Structure 1
Amino acid sequence: MRRSSSKPASNNGSKERIEWEMRPGGMLVQKREDGVGAAGPTIKIKVSHGSYQHEITVPAQSTFGELKKVLAQETGLEPQEQRLLFRGKEKENDECLHMVGVKDMSKVLLLEDPASKERKLEQMKRDLGISKACEAVVRVKVEVDKLAEKVTPLESAVHSGTKVAEKEFVVLTELLMMQLLKLDSIEAEGEAKVKRRTEVRRVQNVVETLDLLKARNSNPFSESSNAISVTTQWETFGSGLGSLKAPRPVTSSTKRTNDWELFD
C-alpha cells in the first residue's frame, strides 16, 4: 500500500513541494510522477522457467509481485501460481528487486506452485475424461439413430392396420436396451453427464413407443372393442335389464304395499 506525504524544499531560494510515497517493504521514496521516465531507470532480468528463458525489462525499483504480473503475460501463469527464487531463496511479493540485489541482467528462477500444478493436472484429467465420455455417448447416439429409423415404418404399418410380426418389436426393443446398458456403463460428469441423461431418456421414449405399437398390433381393434363395450353397457343400463336401479323401486314398493295390507 502506498502512502504519500509532502515536504517543502528550497531550490535557489524558492520553495518546491516534494511528494513522497511508502513502497512495499516500508521504504519511503520520492513519489514517481506520471509521464516519460516516471518509473525511473529500468533493468533487464533473465528469468529461467523450465527449458524456457525470458528476458524481462522492468523498473529497477519494482517489487517481485510486479515482476510476477509481467511474467504472467509471458508465461500464462497467474501471479498466485508463480514462485520466484533469487540466489536460491524464494522472494515475497512485497520485496523490492533492488533491495535484495537484483541488478541489470540478474538471473531469477521461476517455478510453478506445486499445488497449482496439481490442480491443473487434475483439471486436465477431468477434461480428458469428459471428452472421452462425450465421444462414447455420441457413438451410442449414432446406433440409437439407426434403430429409431426402423420404428417409423413399424408405426406406419400398425396405424394402417397392417399386421406386423411380433419379433420385429422384440428385436428392436432388445437392441435399444443394449444401447441403454452401454449408456449406463459410461462414467460421466459435467457436460458428458447431461448428454448421457438426454440420450437415456430418448432411448426410454423409443422403447415406450414400441411397447404401445406392440400392444396395438396384437389387438388392432382394442380401441373399437372398448367403445363397443362402453356403448353396450350404457344400452344395457338404459333398457333396465339387469340394472340395479330399476328393480329396487318395484321391490320396495311391493313390500310396502304388502305390509300395509297385512296391517289392515
Structure 2
Amino acid sequence: MKGSKARGVVEKSNGNEEIDWELRPGGMLVQKRDDGPGSACGPMIKIKVSHGSYQHDISVPAQATFGDLKRLLTQETGLEPQEQRLLFRGKEKDDEECLHMVGVKDMSKVILLEDPASKERKLEEMKMDQGISRACEAVARVRAEVNKLAEKVLALEAVVHRGTRVAEKEFVVLTELLMMQLLKLDSIEAEGEAKVQRRIEVRRVQNLVEMLDVLKARNSNPFSSSSNSVSVTTKWETFDSGVGSLSAPRPMPSPTKITHDWEQF
C-alpha cells in the first residue's frame, strides 16, 4: 500500500481494482465508503433508539456514522440533525464517529436527546406564536366593535348629506366610542402579523374620527361645502366705532353750534 495515513490513499488490489482508503477516528485506516448511509460497507444492523417515551428501530449499515444515523432519525422524529444528541453507553457521540468503531452492534440501544438550546428556542417560538394568536384575537374583537360603529357613522353621513340637522351629541357619543376602541388597540401587545393588523385597525378608527369631525362641522353649518368657502352669518360683533355693524352708528350730540358767520381774512 502506498503513502502514509493520509485520507484518500489509493491501493491496487490483486484484481487490478483501485481501493480508496481513509483514516477513521482513532487512527484506523479503513476502506473508504461512498456518501450516504445506504452505501456504507458492512452488513445491515438494527439499532433501538430511545427518544423519551418513544422507541425507534432503525436499520443502518454497520459502518455508518452517527451523523448518518441522525439523518435517518430526522424522518422518524422531525428533529434536524443539529437538534439531536446521540448517547451510547452514557457518552455523547460525534457525527464523524462510526457505529462499529465504538461497539454498536445489532440490537444495540442508543439514546436520543433533543439539544437543550434547540428545545428552548422551540419553546420561545411556541410562546411567541401563542402570543401572536391571542393578540390577533384581541384585534379581531375590536374590529367587530369598530364595524358596528362604522355602520353608524355611514348612516349619520347619509343623514347629514340630505341636509337634515342632527343633534350634536350624536357626533360626540360616536367619537367617544371610537376613542375607547383606540385605547383598547393601544393596550394590545402585538408582534408580527398581529402588529400589522393592529396598525391597520388604528388607522381605520382614526379615519372614522376624522370623518365625524367633518360631518359635525357640516351639520353645524349646512350651507358650507367641502370646498374652500367663507361662512357668512348675520350676527356681527358691534364695536363702539360702528365698524363691523350692520347699521351705521347714531350721530353723537354735539354742543357746537353751526352758524353762517364766516371769518374774513
Q: TM-score if structure 1 supplies the norm length?
A: 0.79
Aligned length: 225
C-alpha contact (below 8 Å) 1:40/1:60 kept by paired residues: yes
- Displacement, 1:220? 1.0
What does residue range 133-172 of structure 1 map to in structure 2 within 5 Å? 133-172=135-174
Alignment equivalent of 2:45, drawn from 43, 46, 51: 43
Return the alpha-carbon distance in structure 1 between the equivalents of residues 229 and 44 of structure 2: 95
Return the alpha-carbon distance in structure 1 between the equivalents of residues 187 and 49 of structure 2: 49
C-alpha contact (below 8 Å) 2:40/2:64 kept by paired residues: no
Given the alignment of the two structures, is residue 10 of structure 1 paired with residue 14 of structure 2, yes or no? yes
Give the superposed CA RMSD.
2.4
Q: Secondary structure at the match of 2:14?
A: strand
Q: 1:58 maps to what in 2?
A: 60
Return the alpha-carbon distance in structure 1 between the equivalents of residues 34 and 83 of structure 2: 31
Q: 2:206 maps to what in 1?
A: 204
Gaps of 5+ in 2: 1-5, 233-265
1:155 to 1:31, Cα distance in 2 relative to 1, 3 A? same
Q: Secondary structure at the match of 1:54?
A: strand
Identity %, equivalent residues:
77
1:37 to 1:210, Cα distance in 2 relative to 1, 3 A? closer
Return the alpha-carbon distance in structure 2 between the equivalents of residues 198 and 46 of structure 1: 53
What does residue range 26-105 of structure 1 map to in structure 2 within 5 Å? 27-32=28-33, 39-105=41-107
Return the alpha-carbon distance in structure 2 between the equivalents of residues 53 and 118 of structure 1: 23
Return the alpha-carbon distance in structure 2 between the equivalents of residues 38 and 113 of structure 1: 27
Q: TM-score if structure 2 supplies the norm length?
A: 0.78
C-alpha contact (below 8 Å) 1:45/1:106 kept by paired residues: yes
Return the alpha-carbon distance in structure 2 between the equivalents of residues 26 and 222 of structure 1: 95
Return the alpha-carbon distance in structure 2 between the equivalents of residues 179 and 168 of structure 1: 17
